[in-house]
Structure 1
């Protein structure tokens, strides 16, 4: 261990020391990680790390705790686990849990077991919803294990960006890791719009994150806008002059200001891009590729591209292009699909893996900013719920993770997550009761009930 590299508490450092001892003492591991983009990021960092030291590994992606837990090797859970402390405590194998989600069950506490390590930033005064993600927690472990592992910065920070921790700029441990990566030359930076494509017109056609209502996906309107700005629609963004870039940025900012989009969201459409000099990939592009893989039930493809598979990289790009087109079509109709109660807004979405993204982007760019949004997907017997809030709501005391956990449990379901982004599952005949209870609780917390 290289010593306390960052401003982390000593008791957390001791947990890393114990984890490193486990890594040193074994030659094979089972890596079990969440299936979303941050989970892929965390799984990629640790897969690349154990592979570097010629240790065997098998990586599995999950959405909930597995019915059967693999035996025979130490298990590392990343970006998931804090909702299953009791079940993990019963596993016979040595277990490491790296999870930035808060423990919501009042009846659960972090166990103190000889063959288990539970690393949760919230237990050490670090905000896991804003200051560190699954990917950056895995990165912190990798560089603490060996200070030559800074090339993993790209993959770790992509996870933090995927969890929307870069909006308004990285903070906390994320920022410390970013700054150290830049200082050590493992990331470089440039400034520009956070859109990409074969041409400027193509980039705006595919722009769903950031999303520009009335512009994204509208070919004729985009062409007219670019002609008015005297910008060649077929030109690459990096090839046009600084003055034209400023004009385009100003127009896009104005389009969002007209919709009363929060300032920190508007500011995030233009800023610093962080690029790995090792392979030319940038954090923003990588997280969007991983997100597209996750949302299309292909987390394994995301891992493959992180492990250097060029075929996987190009396949992921194709998936991302299709996914962006689908998302834009969904976003265009989202406002029409919104139903409202007094204090919450919600919509139904057929595809489970898409509703969270729709809820998140809708909350950022389309929907009313004074009430959280819930995306609902009907399954065979249950309704799967994704809930999103804004930073302003969280600052007023709203905690969607706590509400999803408590209200779902009251109705025989389960839930949890972060204060700003969370989820739950309840039986179909309980969804009306869940929405009613959520509406009442949000009203109490935000002062309208």
Structure 2
């Protein structure tokens, strides 16, 4: 992957040659494999990571298939070993499980290749007997895996290394999926993607599959009717508009923006540039007049990404909507549907994905309503809620992130969400405000240390992490988390 000075800011120190060397070694091992099992996570980043890997392997004439898991634990790795593949490519997880993967490699059960961006569980420095050689991770070369390169980005760099003189494509078209993964992994800010992610965007633009623009930062620009777009805009709470159907209607009437054309609802993409500017100006004025903090007002407009090869007006055209569609598949045990959409199926798979998306939206809405109604319990340094069996453990982290800053939920503390995973285990999802991360918050370390202390497993990123713990250890786990966060800050 080529990174130019125009692509990366001076603050982004990216030793790309080292990353490329690791990718080249991984690609060489994959080419030597008889067949490859791609194992990946079930979120949007995991699905796009697997799709990029599968596309690249097939283009290199390497036989492969994909499997997915919510959590890569000892039991899941044992099942993978039983599949009798000589080579397993782990994408969007694996680094945090090096200690339990390595014994299988040493025993000759399979060769492991890892393309991940999570905190490694160990390295050769920790264990000289460590035998796993093929490990592609931005953290190993000084790149922030939480903000500058996603799991899909790591897979994309591996795809670049898998190119050959006989390959019909240079794989740059796969940059579109890498950007979907990065945005789905919450790595984009108002200013867009940065670091190695930004370099991938540039390659996608050059390949003609990505368009980068400045636009309103409200979810649903492609598909939602204009009134609903504004009503459901929760990222920036605007009094009289957010969650206010009649307020939205009055606002649009005041600025003279027609909401229908030929009997059909108009969407954001149907507005002229002048109309869009009128709406944005009106929203900014309303927010300022209502006392919305300046930093929140500024979040109304920023960098957006459009996938130019996808049909306008569909969920696949906008990277945020695409990532949400993918979350609606694998998190409901239909990773096969999400993968098929990523691989280009625009028929049965897309229809099923849209059906799952409707269910997903309903579950998120109901879950958020429950959390805001029940509120959170506040400790010294964190806030938390326990959803029990009311919210699926696969989506409780998404709801936790949505809840921060909602009515009655503080936005200045990390939030922990608990949900039943089984009769004996609790799933924990943690989300932290960006400003606390800048001040030293690292939820990956917090989850890892607290979970380990109570006999569980944890990890992730500084801003978003998770754990699985024994169901009767919640109180002790919370005490350790609260203390550790306090020490970090």
1:222 to 248, 254, 268: 248
- Aligned-residue offset at 1:256: 6.8
| Count of residues in Structure 1 that have an aligned counterpart in Structure 2 | 443
- Aligned-residue offset at 1:198: 4.8
Q: Which has the larger displacement, 332-341 or 417-426? A: 332-341
- What SS is found at the alignment partner of 1:353? coil
CA distance in 2, matches of 1:438, 1:79: 25
CA distance in 2, matches of 1:203, 1:397: 35
Match of 1:343 in 2: 381
Q: Which has the larger displacement, 33-42 or 313-322? A: 313-322
Whether contact under 8 Å (2:92, 2:151) holds in the other structure is yes
Match of 2:98 in 1: 85
Q: Which has the larger displacement, 364-373 or 153-162? A: 364-373
CA distance in 2, matches of 1:358, 1:157: 22
2:321 to 285, 289, 308: 285
Whether contact under 8 Å (1:261, 1:365) holds in the other structure is no
Provide, for residues 97-156 of structure 1, a one-character-per-residue CA deviation record: whole Å limited to 9, x for no partner: 111001256998487867640112111111001000000111111123227101101111
Match of 1:126 in 2: 143
Whether contact under 8 Å (2:240, 2:248) holds in the other structure is no
Provide, for residues 412-442 of structure 1, a one-character-per-residue CA deviation record: whole Å limited to 9, x for no partner: 1111111110011221221011112222222
1:304 to 329, 340, 344: 340
Provide, for residues 66-106 of structure 1, a one-character-per-residue CA deviation record: whole Å limited to 9, x for no partner: 13222233110001012211221122222101110012569
2:461 to 418, 427, 449: 418
Considering only aligned residues, what root-mean-square deviation do their CA atoms show, in Å? 2.9
CA distance in 2, matches of 1:290, 1:217: 25
- What SS is found at the alignment partner of 1:225? helix
Q: Establish whether residue 321 from structure 1 lines up as the match of residue 369 from structure 2.
A: no
Whether contact under 8 Å (1:102, 1:418) holds in the other structure is yes
Whether contact under 8 Å (2:56, 2:162) holds in the other structure is no
Q: Which has the larger displacement, 269-278 or 165-174? A: 269-278
Whether contact under 8 Å (1:89, 1:116) holds in the other structure is no
Q: Establish whether residue 35 from structure 1 lines up as the match of residue 26 from structure 2.
A: no
- Aligned-residue offset at 1:172: 0.9
Structure 2: any 5+ residue segments left out of the alignment? 5-13, 164-168, 260-264, 312-316
- Aligned-residue offset at 1:273: 3.2
Match of 2:434 in 1: 391
CA distance in 2, matches of 1:307, 1:277: 16
Match of 1:20 in 2: 27
CA distance in 2, matches of 1:312, 1:13: 34
Whether contact under 8 Å (2:98, 2:121) holds in the other structure is no
Match of 1:239 in 2: 270
- Aligned-residue offset at 1:352: 0.7
Q: 1:170 to 1:364 in 2, by over 3 A?
A: farther
Whether contact under 8 Å (2:119, 2:139) holds in the other structure is yes
- Aligned-residue offset at 1:300: 1.8
CA distance in 2, matches of 1:390, 1:11: 31
Q: 1:45 to 1:397 in 2, by over 3 A?
A: same
CA distance in 1, matches of 2:292, 2:238: 12
Q: 1:268 to 1:431 in 2, by over 3 A?
A: same
1:167 to 171, 174, 189: 189
CA distance in 2, matches of 1:71, 1:255: 61
Q: Establish whether residue 182 from structure 1 lines up as the match of residue 205 from structure 2.
A: yes
- Aligned-residue offset at 1:177: 1.1
CA distance in 2, matches of 1:294, 1:262: 37
- Aligned-residue offset at 1:315: 2.3
Q: 1:13 to 1:238 in 2, by over 3 A?
A: closer
Q: Establish whether residue 75 from structure 1 lines up as the match of residue 98 from structure 2.
A: no
- Aligned-residue offset at 1:282: 3.4
- TM-score, normalising length from structure 2? 0.82
Whether contact under 8 Å (2:2, 2:199) holds in the other structure is no
1:158 to 166, 169, 180: 180
2:475 to 432, 435, 440: 432
CA distance in 2, matches of 1:375, 1:325: 19
Q: 1:398 to 1:127 in 2, by over 3 A?
A: same
Whether contact under 8 Å (2:238, 2:292) holds in the other structure is no
Whether contact under 8 Å (2:15, 2:142) holds in the other structure is no
Which residues in structure 2 correspond to 1:91-110 (within 5 Å)?
A: 91=104, 92-104=109-121, 109=126
CA distance in 1, matches of 2:235, 2:338: 19
Match of 1:363 in 2: 404
- Aligned-residue offset at 1:304: 0.7
Q: Which has the larger displacement, 318-327 or 214-223? A: 214-223
Q: Which has the larger displacement, 90-99 or 199-208? A: 199-208
Provide, for residues 260-279 of structure 1, a one-character-per-residue CA deviation record: whole Å limited to 9, x for no partner: 6783x654543343333333
- Aligned-residue offset at 1:13: 2.6
2:486 to 418, 443, 448: 443
Whether contact under 8 Å (1:104, 1:405) holds in the other structure is no
- TM-score, normalising length from structure 1? 0.88
